[in-house]
Amino acid sequence: MCSIRYHNLFSEGRIGKVKIRNRIVMTPMGTGHCGPDSRITQELIDFYTARAKGGVGMIITETNYQSEIDVTPITFGMARLDHPNKIARHTELADMVKYYGSVPCIQLSIGMGRQSDAPHLVPPVAPSECPAVNDPDIICKELTHSEIKTMVSNIARSAEYAVTAGFELAEIHGHAGYLIDQFMSPDINKRTDEYGGDLNGRLRIVKEIRDEIRKRVGDALAVTFRISVDQKYPGYRTLEEGIEICKLLEEFGYDALNVDAGRYESIPWIFPTSYLGTACMKDLSYAIKRNVKIPVINAGNFNHPKVAEEALADGSADFIAIGRSLLADPDWAEKSRLGMEEEIRHCIRCNEKCIARVLEGKELTCTVNPQCGRESRFIISKADKAKRVTVIGGGPAGIEAACVASKRGHRVTLLEKEEELGGQLNYASMEAFKWPVRDFNEYMKRQAVINDIDLRLGVEATIDTIRETKPDVVIVATGARQIIPDNIDRDNVITVVDLYDYELKGDEKVVVIGGGLVGSESALGLAMKGHHVTIIEMLDDIAGDINIINRVSLLEELEKHEVKIMTNTSYKEIKGDEVICTTKDGREIKVAFDLALFATGAKRDDELAKAVKENFLESYVIGDCACIGKISDAVHGGYITGTRI
């Protein structure tokens, strides 16, 4: 029975002749989970099976390449469907997805072209000679007429293999500046033959791909096309041209369009950050819907079923593509259908354990879901012997360890000195653009309540109070303390933790000392509230402790909100209402302030941990009190510790 609240989201849909049980589509994401021979692994099958079990209507696989020439250090762990010996594993994947009621759709690509991640190892190709994105000194080779024909033939051959493997849908990878997209882009495609020139010429390869697939498999395979309709970069494709392209794609016989934005020069739009807001590409989808009759799929921070339902109800899309939210919670769809929104483990849009790992040539997982990509290895099983477990600290590390231990049958007590759970997530989620962290924080707090944990809030843990719980095991997750220089005792000089309860009066001058992620995001939040903000950072750049995708997006927002950034500048002291700084070349600078905010890092709060080690036989130290880290370190450390007991 469908949730009345999300009637549109859980209504049956159709692409071509293929019926789809609901309007939720798992968007294609590179995982790095294929074997060295580019075959589908059992681990990858388990990954997709979990999402099919979780209620997704259609699953689009990560892209499948067509030739060994596409294989570079990053794509080494990605699939190829280029030979009959790959069909068996693809069949198993398609079968498992179908067994659980979802529709498998295979994404097909002819490669990265000028965006090759290792142009010095594999000579890159492109529609025309042009600099390689990752090494402009290397000039991409222009594809010959014969090579283009071979690519068209190869991708159609893969479509034949896909039909044999049991797929009823295929998606052509034509977005994000990859090779097919390069043919469509006049700033790259300078050809003067039939594959260049006007829009019809630049899209000729796209038409030939659809025609060749139809020639080989008829109507046995519905074919969709993924396209960046607005590349969000000066001089590149605008929505107006995107609309014209989509009209042609419909004419060519594509059965649906998967609409998004960006290319690697505007990378935050490919992997939307929280700074871009929810449903951040819905306007693009709406514009395309007004101009075509075939179904339109739309992605872009649809974190909550309510947001997805609204996009369907107002006619912005026919299907909603969910990506990273399904990494965080494979049961996102089923929980939404049953009205269990509070039970959804929310993606925090950090991009750290998913795309950032894949870009490093590693396997994908998830910051908030350690089981992601490890479904067959990370299994919570009942403990051989139930123990009394006492957890000290109610932040993400402590809560995760407590919940996993409780699920395994242990009797768990959690001591938290504050009156509220959440730890550092409480202040890390207070800015408006930190909505994903706020959602995750609320989820974690609820899990602590519903997992049969004896919660003791407002209790300062000491060796005596710990002994009172009669533990067999003690887990210390007391976190860290923010660093602030000595001899500063003023109401208007605070740390980022104090900002959680600090009342700002209005249009004030704020100096943020420390330009890491915490300081930079605090500066952005203050600037968005109308304050005049300056960041002082001793290094030569800010936000160097986060991945390139989120960093680019954050820097764009800081510039938009006119945050002044002073790099290679060190804090010296505070005198009166001025922060005294010194530059790299020794000059002294004075910056006036109404509020000085220290974001100069944290130190481990590990005094209790040392005492616990001396007094209890089985104990563990996790989270920031073990080693200062990120949310992913806290959650993954808590999970692993919970499984060890």
Q: What's the pLDDT at 511?
A: 97
Across the range 208-233, mean pLDDT stands at: 97
Question: Judging by DSSP bridges, how do beta strands 388-392 and 473-476 pair with one another?
Answer: parallel
Number of C-beta neighbours around residue 92 at 10 A: 17
The tens digit of pLDDT for each residue in 73-107 reads 555 567 899 999 999 999 999 999 999 999 999 99
The tens digit of pLDDT for each residue in 515-562 reads 999 999 999 999 999 999 999 999 999 999 999 999 999 999 999 999
Whole-angstrom distance, CA of residue 509 vs CA of residue 527: 10
Q: List b or e across 258-272, with b for residues whose CB sees 16 or more CB atoms inside 10 angstroms.
A: bbbbbbbbbbbbbbb
Question: Judging by DSSP bridges, how do beta strands 135-139 and 131-132 pair with one another?
Answer: antiparallel
Whole-angstrom distance, CA of residue 171 vs CA of residue 180: 13
Tokens for 198, please give them.
């006007």
Whole-angstrom distance, CA of residue 202 vs CA of residue 324: 32
What is the average pLDDT value for the chain, to the nearest integer? Answer: 94
Residue recorded with tokens 């924080």: 441
3-state secondary structure of 289: helix
Residue 69 has pLDDT above 90, yes or no: no
The tens digit of pLDDT for each residue in 304-360 reads 999 999 999 999 999 999 999 999 999 999 999 999 999 999 999 999 999 999 988
Whole-angstrom distance, CA of residue 317 vs CA of residue 8: 11
Q: What's the pLDDT at 485?
A: 81
What separation in angstroms does the CA of 37 have from each of 34, 68, 87, 105, 248?
A: 8, 10, 13, 22, 37
**Which residues are marked as active site?**
178
Fold observed for domain 388-482+603-644: Rossmann fold (3.40.50)
Whole-angstrom distance, CA of residue 61 vs CA of residue 518: 35
Whole-angstrom distance, CA of residue 435 vs CA of residue 303: 10
Q: What's the pLDDT at 288?
A: 98
Across the range 123-146, mean pLDDT stands at: 94
Q: What is the share, in percent, of the chain residues with pLDDT greater than 90?
A: 88
Contact criterion met (CB below 8 Å) for 260 and 299: yes
The tens digit of pLDDT for each residue in 397-438 reads 999 999 999 999 999 999 999 999 999 999 899 999 999 999
The reply to whether CATH 3.50.50.60 applies to domain 493-600 is: yes
| Structure confidence at residue 2 as a pLDDT band (50, 70, 90) | very low
Q: What's the pLDDT at 489?
A: 76
Question: What global pTM score does this model have?
Answer: 0.95
- Residue ranges per structural domain of the chain: 4-359, 388-482+603-644, 493-600
**428 vs 396, higher pLDDT:** 396
Alpha helices by DSSP H, listed for 490-598, are 517-528, 548-560
User: Count of residues for the chain?
Assistant: 645
Q: What is the 3-state secondary structure (H, E, C) of 621-638?
A: ECHHHCCCCCHHHHHHHH
Which of 3.20.20.70, 3.40.50.720, 3.40.30.10, 3.40.50.150 is the CATH number of 4-359? 3.20.20.70
- Could you tell me which of 550, 102, 56, 86 has the C-alpha nearest to residue 320? 56
What separation in angstroms does the CA of 320 have from each of 8, 299, 306, 380?
A: 11, 6, 12, 31
Q: What's the pLDDT at 70?
A: 53
Whole-angstrom distance, CA of residue 500 vs CA of residue 429: 9
Alpha helices by DSSP H, listed for 232-337, are 239-252, 282-289, 305-313, 324-328, 332-337
Whole-angstrom distance, CA of residue 149 vs CA of residue 155: 10
Largest CA distance in the chain: 82
| Structure confidence at residue 463 as a pLDDT band (50, 70, 90) | very high
Q: Element (H or E) spanning 401, and its range?
A: helix 396-407
